[in-house]
Structure 1
């Protein structure tokens, strides 16, 4: 949120003078999103809603079909019902369409480079990310690359420590995480559990690596956020979201934490290190 505030200040929006923010956080509980969205809409005096996840965007769109919504969506906006087409959304939603299945494929490929002799690959999901669009890229790409792929489903975040026990994770040769707002809300705990298991894992965004995870690959969220704020600016100046095409990320980000690699006893290939946008020593 601070990044969005800063970008808006660059465009001349000063909080308390010509813009007011209302922030709502479901704390990783996707079931709470519909009620939060309804509350925002019912309170009124809202000119636009920013939704930072597909579940948040869907909850906001269900709550209002008139207030403009600018979404950072990890799932195809057309397939999920947010837009009629990417080029002309036609409804009250526009934003950045990540298409996480494409970056998930790349994460599986990177894990094969990092762990060339790995056989058993685990992918961790919750009910937010356990659909075919999230799992299919891992299953199909993993099998093509010689992995035996198994989904590890966290149905209830309260059971996370039990389902992701280091002893269970240690039975896998490698782990791939897909974008998931529930898992992100439990980032520190997951990084600790994975670290104790000594299993190499790759995550969808750089904040995981900054907090101690081994690797991440995904869209450059700083660049995506800048585009998101640009869309918000255009809407606040009168543009209709249904006329503004969903944008695709053009920059992608590979982060590596060498401290974590050493703790895991992993020597990363020079070909992977050379492609990294940032290496934490």
Structure 2
């Protein structure tokens, strides 16, 4: 997702003032550690929101700002390489949407500030000491993805009433590399399985720890006779976006992701354009001297439920009118 290119109001006003503190004649340098450089049109819109907000606050690429864009392309080990490179370059801040990358920056040394987005487990992995006072190198926005899993399952069942076996495509290794224990990963899945069970759904774990695992994962989905796929938001599934969409079309199995840019039948998650604008504001505060450890970890203020009727038609599904009325956006 996203290649190149509750605390909002008061903090945003503060950013408008602090932006004037930039040092005349200085070129600031930030890095963006993303999942894949391959963008959809909607991804471009989201990145433009980030670049646009930086520009509004006085930081313009090619004038007083340089952005190093780096993408792991489904290879988690690259984040450590990127972190070392940016430490040697002396970047002012790193922006990333994965705990794996944030952990790599912290472990690389150099005390580089990290602004995160789309991360669920910053507290449990030890990246922050608390949400109100992170205390270290990391701040930004959490997407509370784990908390949204039961809601995603509920919306999936409402949109596709016949679904009874959902494959839960996850990356346990991504979690372990970010600092989570295998026990905590298993406990989280068990809680999701119980939520699904209350709706008459069997949740089936499908582990994809690298892009190369995709063939085995889809073979497992077929053998388990899953009639739906729920994608967890992680760097591997983001890299595999085209593969998942092709699988959805070929197998006529509905897929749900966490953001509308994915192109799946259903999505439910943060409004990432708003997230990226806010992220730009946090970056600017850091460039102008604020310490990330003193900046509270925030949460998105808007969630989007999107239904793609083009996909529904292609895979032979009819979405109930009651669900369409609940959708924040319908793609037709």
Q: Secondary structure at the match of 1:76?
A: coil
Moved over 4 A (4+): none
- For structure 1, which runs of at least 5 residues remain unmatched after alignment? none
Cα distance in 2, alignment partners of residues 133 and 58 from structure 1: 22
- Report the CA distance between 1:202 and its aligned residue: 0.9
Size of the alignment, in residue pairs?
277
Paired residues of 2:165 and 2:201 also in contact (CA < 8 A): yes
Q: Secondary structure at the match of 2:174?
A: coil
Paired residues of 2:211 and 2:239 also in contact (CA < 8 A): no
Question: Residue 145 and residue 47 in structure 1: after superposition, are their counterparts in 2 closer, same or farther (change >3 A)?
Answer: same
Q: Tell whether 2:131 aligns with 1:86.
A: yes
Partner of residue 111 from structure 2, selected from 41, 66, 79? 66
Question: Residue 105 and residue 124 in structure 1: after superposition, are their counterparts in 2 closer, same or farther (change >3 A)?
Answer: same
**Structure 2 partner of 1:178:** 232
Cα distance in 1, alignment partners of residues 147 and 135 from structure 2: 25
**Structure 2 partner of 1:202:** 256
1:1-281 matches, cutoff 5 A: 1-2=4-5, 3=47, 4-44=50-90, 46-64=91-109, 66-126=111-171, 127-128=173-174, 131-132=185-186, 135-165=189-219, 168=222, 171-209=225-263, 213-281=264-332
Paired residues of 2:51 and 2:280 also in contact (CA < 8 A): no
After superposing the two structures, state which structure 1 stretch, 70-79 or 159-168, moved more: 159-168
- Report the CA distance between 1:76 and its aligned residue: 2.6
Cα distance in 1, alignment partners of residues 265 and 62 from structure 2: 41
Cα RMSD, aligned residues only: 2.0
Question: Residue 104 and residue 268 in structure 1: after superposition, are their counterparts in 2 closer, same or farther (change >3 A)?
Answer: same
- Report the CA distance between 1:115 and its aligned residue: 2.5
Question: Residue 279 and residue 53 in structure 1: after superposition, are their counterparts in 2 closer, same or farther (change >3 A)?
Answer: same
- Report the CA distance between 1:208 and its aligned residue: 1.0
Question: Residue 104 and residue 167 in structure 1: after superposition, are their counterparts in 2 closer, same or farther (change >3 A)?
Answer: closer
Cα distance in 1, alignment partners of residues 233 and 147 from structure 2: 12
Paired residues of 2:169 and 2:232 also in contact (CA < 8 A): yes
Question: Residue 73 and residue 277 in structure 1: after superposition, are their counterparts in 2 closer, same or farther (change >3 A)?
Answer: closer
Paired residues of 1:166 and 1:197 also in contact (CA < 8 A): no
Cα distance in 1, alignment partners of residues 137 and 221 from structure 2: 47
Deviation per CA, 1:56-108: give whole Å up to 9, x if none.
Answer: 11111211362211111422311111111000011111000111112222111
- Report the CA distance between 1:272 and its aligned residue: 1.5
- Report the CA distance between 1:233 and its aligned residue: 0.9
- Report the CA distance between 1:180 and its aligned residue: 1.3
- Report the CA distance between 1:169 and its aligned residue: 7.1
Q: Secondary structure at the match of 1:142?
A: helix
Q: Secondary structure at the match of 1:199?
A: coil
- Report the CA distance between 1:137 and its aligned residue: 4.7
The answer to which structure, 1 or 2, has the higher relative contact order (CA under 8 A, 6+ apart) is 2
